[in-house]
Chains A and B, each alone.
Chain A
C-alpha cells in the first residue's frame, strides 16, 4: 500500500503539471479541427440525442414494470453516458503510458501523471454532460435533494477510472496484448450491466454476473438519482467502494513490482 501512497504524493507534488497535461490532452483531441473544443463534447451528445430520438420519439418504446422510468430512451441515456465516459477514460488511460513512452524516457516525470491526465481529460468532457443530463431530467421528478448524490457518484467514478486505467496501463506496458483484450471487454461490457435493461429484467440466476462489471453499482446509482430522484440504495455505495478497494490493492502490488523498470518497457 505504501507504493500507492508514494504515487499519490508524487501526483500531489506535480499537480500543476497534471493540470497542464490535462489541458494539453484536451487540446490534442481536437487539434487541427475547425470546430475545435466543441468536437469532444459533440460526439457523446449526438449519440445520446440519437438514443432519445430513436427510442422515445420514433419508436416510443416503453419499459415494463419495475423499471425506474417507462421511456426506454430516457432510461438508456442515463446509463449509457457514464458508461461511455468509463470506456473513454479507461481505454485512453490504458494507452497513456505507451503513448507517453518517449516523454517518460527523456524527462524525469512520475508515470502516474499520464493515466491520471487521460482520465481527468475525459472527466472534463463527460462531467459537464452528466450535469446537463441531470438538469434535463429535473422536470421528471421535480428538484429533490437526492440529486446531490450525483456528485459523490461522479467522484467515485473518476477515482475508480484512475485506479483501473493505471493498473491496465502498467499491464499493457508489460504485454501489449492486454490493450486488445480490454478493448474487447469494454465493447461487450455494456451487455453485462443494467444499462440497456433494468436489473429486474435479468433472469434471477444470472444477475450475479452483472456485479462483475465495476460500473454496475454506479449505473444503478445514476438511474436512481436522475430518473427517480431518490437516494441510491446502500448496495450501490458498498459495491462501488469494494471495487475501488480491490483495484487499489491490485494497483499497489503492480506499482511495487514494476516501479524500477516500468519506463524501460515503454
Chain B
C-alpha cells in the first residue's frame, strides 16, 4: 500500500477498462488458444485517477454510457481493470444489484448466511448480526420460507439489510436509493446517512442532481469514459448542466408531453404523493398556446399526502419552457413547513409577489420530500407550462433587485 495520507481510503491511478469485442465467440476461443488479437477495442473507461478520503461523499455523474457503472464495478471489484492501479482500504460494500446470488430453493435465513459468507461475514459474526438484520428487513416468519416465494420487494429488503449489516469503510451505491416501498426507502436513506455520519466514505452514482447536490461534497463527471471534471459539487454540476443543455440544443428541441399526473383522492390511505398543484389566475385562451398568467403575482398551491404523522417537505422549481432552470425552492431549505389540513393532507402556498420575470413561456415542477429532505416521495416534473407577459417591452429573463443612483 502506497497511500498518500493515512485517511485515504481509496486511491485510483490511470484506471482503464477495455472491452475486447470479437466478431464471434469462435474468434474469442481462437484468440484464447492462439494468443493472437483479432478484436476491436472498446474503452469504457480510460485513465481515471482520483483519491478519496475518509468521510467524503462523492457523486458520479455523466450521460448514459459514460462509464459510470463500469467505474463503480471496478471499484467494487466485480470487474477487473485492464490498466491502472486501484488501492482500497478496509471493507468496501457495493449496493449495485441487490439480491443476486440468492438461491431460490433455499430459505431466506440460509441465503442470509450464504450471502454473508460471499461478502466476507463469517458464520459466527452473522449469528451475532442476524437479529439486527431481521429487524431491519421486517421479513419476520417469511425468513424461513424459500426465497422463491418472496416478492421482489422482500428480496431486495433482505439483500439491502444484509449488505449494510456491517459498517463499511467505503460504500458504493448505484442509484439504489430507490428500493422497495417508501417506508423502506426512508430506512435505507437513514441507514446510509448514519454510515456517513460515522465516517464512511460514500461513492454514489445518480442521475438526480438534487441528490448529488444534497449528499455529496465532491462530484466526478465522466464523459465518454474520461474524467471531464472532478471537484467541488456545485462547480461540476454547473459544468455538467451546461454540457447537457448543449447536447439538448443540438438535438431536436421537443416540448415535453403535458400529461398531468392522475389525481388521487386524499382519503386513499397509501403512499405519500402530491395531490394537486394549483396555479392561481391562469387563463387558457384556447388557442393551443400555454395558458396566460393574469396579473403580476404567481401563487402556487401545492397539496400533498404525507406518510403517517410525518411532516413532509415541498419543493418547487420554475424553468424556461425549454427546461433551462431559473430557480428552485424547498420548504426545508427556507425553514418553512407545509400546513396540515383537517383532512390530514399538507398544503403550502408559494407566492412570488410581482413575479420578477420578463415576458416568456415558463414551466413549473413540484416535489414532495420526506421530513429530512433526502428521500423524494413524489414529483410532478415540468407538469404545467404557462405564459407570462411583463408590461414593459424590455428584453431579458429575470428582473434582479437593483438600485439606480
Please report A residues at the B interface, Cβ cutoff 8 Å: 16-17, 20, 24, 27-28, 31-32, 102-109, 170-171, 174-176, 178, 253-254, 257-265
Residues from chain A with a CB closer than 8 A to the CB of B35 are 253, 257
The contact of B20 among A27, A31, A171, A261, by CB within 8 Å, is A261
Q: Is the CB of A102 within 8 A of B103?
A: no
Residues from chain A with a CB closer than 8 A to the CB of B380 are none
Q: Give Cα distance in the complex from A260 to B44, angstroms.
A: 13
Q: Indicate whether B118 reaches chain A with its CB closer than 8 angstroms.
A: yes
Q: Indicate whether B96 reaches chain A with its CB closer than 8 angstroms.
A: yes
Q: Say how far B142's CB is from chain A's closest CB, in angstroms.
A: 19
Q: List 28 A-B contacts (CB under 8 A).
A: A20-B117, A24-B103, A27-B106, A31-B106, A102-B100, A102-B101, A103-B101, A105-B100, A106-B96, A106-B97, A107-B118, A108-B94, A109-B118, A170-B32, A171-B33, A174-B25, A174-B32, A175-B26, A175-B28, A176-B25, A257-B31, A257-B35, A259-B80, A260-B80, A262-B80, A263-B78, A264-B19, A265-B28
Residues from chain A with a CB closer than 8 A to the CB of B28 are 174-175, 265
The contact of A28 among B80, B81, B103, by CB within 8 Å, is B103
Residues from chain A with a CB closer than 8 A to the CB of B26 are 175
Q: Is the CB of A17 within 8 A of B117?
A: yes
The contact of A20 among B77, B101, B114, by CB within 8 Å, is B114
Task: Scan B60-104; emit 1 where CB is below 8 A from any A CB, else 0.
Answer: 000000000000000011111110000000000010110011010
The contact of B101 among A16, A31, A106, A171, by CB within 8 Å, is A106
Question: Closest chain B residue to A176 by CB distance?
Answer: B25
Q: Is the CB of A24 within 8 A of B114?
A: yes
Q: Is the CB of A106 within 8 A of B32?
A: no
A174 in contact with B76 given A102-B100, A105-B100, A107-B119 (CB within 8 Å):
no
Q: Say how far B17's CB is from chain A's closest CB, in angstroms.
A: 8
Residues from chain A with a CB closer than 8 A to the CB of B81 are 260
Question: Closest chain A residue to B39 by CB distance?
Answer: A261
Residues from chain B with a CB closer than 8 A to the CB of A109 are 118
Q: Indicate whether B122 reaches chain A with its CB closer than 8 angstroms.
A: yes
Please report B residues at the A interface, Cβ cutoff 8 Å: 18-20, 25-26, 28-29, 31-33, 35, 76-82, 94, 96-97, 100-101, 103, 105-106, 114, 117-119, 122
Q: Say how far B405's CB is from chain A's closest CB, in angstroms.
A: 65
Question: Closest chain A residue to B105 by CB distance?
Answer: A31
Q: Is the CB of B80 within 8 A of A263?
A: yes
Residues from chain B with a CB closer than 8 A to the CB of A263 are 78-80
Question: Closest chain A residue to B80 by CB distance?
Answer: A260
Q: Say how far A149's CB is from chain B's closest CB, in angstroms.
A: 36
Q: Give Cα distance in the complex from A55 to B278, angstroms.
A: 91
Q: Give Cα distance in the complex from A178 to B29, angstroms.
A: 9
A175 in contact with B80 given A20-B114, A103-B100, A103-B101 (CB within 8 Å):
no
Q: Is the CB of A106 within 8 A of B25?
A: no
Question: Closest chain B residue to A103 by CB distance?
Answer: B101
Residues from chain A with a CB closer than 8 A to the CB of B31 are 257
Q: Say how far A264's CB is from chain B's closest CB, in angstroms.
A: 7
Q: Say how far B113's CB is from chain A's closest CB, in angstroms.
A: 8
Q: Say how far A262's CB is from chain B's closest CB, in angstroms.
A: 8
Residues from chain A with a CB closer than 8 A to the CB of B33 are 171
Q: Say how far B35's CB is from chain A's closest CB, in angstroms.
A: 6
Residues from chain B with a CB closer than 8 A to the CB of A27 are 106
Question: Closest chain B residue to A16 by CB distance?
Answer: B122
| Most chain B C-beta atoms within 10 Å of own C-beta, residue among A24, A31, A176, A260 | A260
Q: Say how far A32's CB is from chain B's closest CB, in angstroms.
A: 6
A108 in contact with B78 given A174-B28, A261-B20 (CB within 8 Å):
yes
Q: Give Cα distance in the complex from A171 to B29, angstroms.
A: 7
Q: Is the CB of A175 within 8 A of B25?
A: yes
Residues from chain A with a CB closer than 8 A to the CB of B25 are 174-176
Residues from chain A with a CB closer than 8 A to the CB of B20 are 261
Q: Is the CB of A260 within 8 A of B82?
A: yes
Q: Is the CB of A32 within 8 A of B78?
A: no
Residues from chain B with a CB closer than 8 A to the CB of A261 are 19-20, 80
Q: Give Cα distance in the complex from A265 to B100, angstroms.
A: 17
Q: Is the CB of B78 within 8 A of A105?
A: yes
